[in-house]
Amino acid sequence: MKKLLSMLLAVAVVLTLCVVPAMAEEPVEINMFIPSPEYADAVNELIAAYKEVAPNVTINYETTQNDYPTLLKTRINAGMTPDIFGTTSGKEIADYAEYSYNFAGTPAAEAMDPAVSAMMTYGDGEIHGFALKGNYFGMLYNKAIFDEVGIEFPKTLDEFEAACEKISAAGYQPVTTGFAEWWVYKHVMQHFLDAATDDPAALVAAFQAGEAHFKDYPVLYDNFFRFIDLCVKYGDNKPLETDLAGEVSAFGTGKAAMVTGQGPWVEADVTSIDDALQIGFAGYPVTDDPAQSQIIAGSDQALRINKDSANLDAVLDFVNWWYTSEYGQNWFCDVAGVIPPISGAKVADMQIIKQGAELAAADGAGALSICYSSDSFNQAMGEAIQAYIGGSIDKDECCAQIEAKWVELDGAKG
Partner 1 sequence: MQRPSMSPMNRKALRDTLLFTLPAVVMVLIAIYIPFVMSGYYSLTEWNGISRNPVFIGPANFRTIFSSGSPEFVNALLFTFRFSALFIVFSNVLALALAVALTRKFRLANFLRGMFFLPYIMSMTIVGFIWKFIFTQGFEKLYEITGWGVWNLSWLGDANLAFYSLVLVGVWQSLGFYIVLYIAGLQAIPSEVLEAASIDGANSRQRFFRVVLPLLGPSITTCVFMSLTNSLKVFDIILALTKGGPGGATYSATLDIYREAFQNNNYGLGSAKAIVFFVIVLVLTQVVLKVFERGEVKQ
Partner 2 sequence: MQAQVERRKKAAHGAFLVIVVLLACLYIYPVFLMVDNSLKPFKEILTNVLALPSHLEWANYGYVIDKMEYFRLFWNNVVITVIGIAGIVVFSSMAAYILDRRDTRVTKALHTFIITPMLIPFQTIMITLLKFMNIIHLNGTAWGLGIQYWGFGIPMATFIYFNFMKSIPSEIDESAMIDSASTFQTYALIIFPLLKTVTATVVVLDVMWIWNDFLLPLLMVNSSPSSKTLVLAAYNFVGSLNTKWHYALAAMVLAILPSVIVFVFLQRYIVDGVVAGAIKG
Q: Which listed option, partner 2, partner 1, none, makes contact with residue 269 (CB within 5 to 8 Å by class)?
A: partner 2
Query: At closest approach, how far in Å is the CB of 39 from partner 2?
Result: 9
Q: Which is nearer to partner 1, 18 or 412 (CB)?
A: 412
Piece in contact with partner 2 (CB under 8 A), picked from 34-42, 192-200, 330-338, 386-394 = 34-42
Query: At closest approach, how far in Å is the CB of 69 from partner 2?
Result: 13
Q: Which listed option, partner 2, partner 1, none, makes contact with residue 182 (CB within 5 to 8 Å by class)?
A: partner 1
Q: Which is nearer to partner 2, 236 or 403 (CB)?
A: 236
Q: Which listed option, partner 2, partner 1, none, makes contact with residue 40 (CB within 5 to 8 Å by class)?
A: partner 2
61 binds partner 2 (CB under 8 A): yes
Query: At closest approach, how far in Å is the CB of 178 from partner 1?
Result: 12
Query: At closest approach, how far in Å is the CB of 82 from partner 2?
Result: 9
3-state secondary structure the chain: CHHHHHHHHHHHHHHHHHHHHHHHCCCEEEEEEECCHHHHHHHHHHHHHHHHHCCCEEEEEEECCCCHHHHHHHHHHCCCCCCEEEEECCHHHHHCHHHECCCCCCHHHHHECHHHHHHCEECCCEECCECCCEEEECEEEEHHHHHHHCCCCCCCHHHHHHHHHHHHHCCCEEEECCCCCHHHHHHHHHHHHHHHCCCHHHHHHHHHCCCCCHHHCHHHHHHHHHHHHHHHHCCCCCHHHCCHHHHHHHHHCCCEEEECCCCHHHHHHHHHHCCCCCEEEECCCCCCCHHHCCCEEECCEEEEEECCCCCHHHHHHHHHHHHHCHHHHHHHHHCCCCECCECCCCCCCCHHHHHHHHHHHHHCCECCHHHHCCHHHHHHHHHHHHHHHHCCCCHHHHHHHHHHHHHHHHCCCC
Query: At closest approach, how far in Å is the CB of 246 from partner 2?
Result: 9
Piece in contact with partner 2 (CB under 8 A), picked from 71-79, 152-160, 163-171, 327-335 = 71-79
Q: Which of 48, 51, 62, 199 binds partner 2 (CB under 8 A)?
A: 62
Binding stretches for partner 2 (CB under 8 A): 31, 33, 37-38, 40, 60-67, 70-71, 73-75, 77-80, 244-245, 248-249, 252-253, 266, 269, 272-273
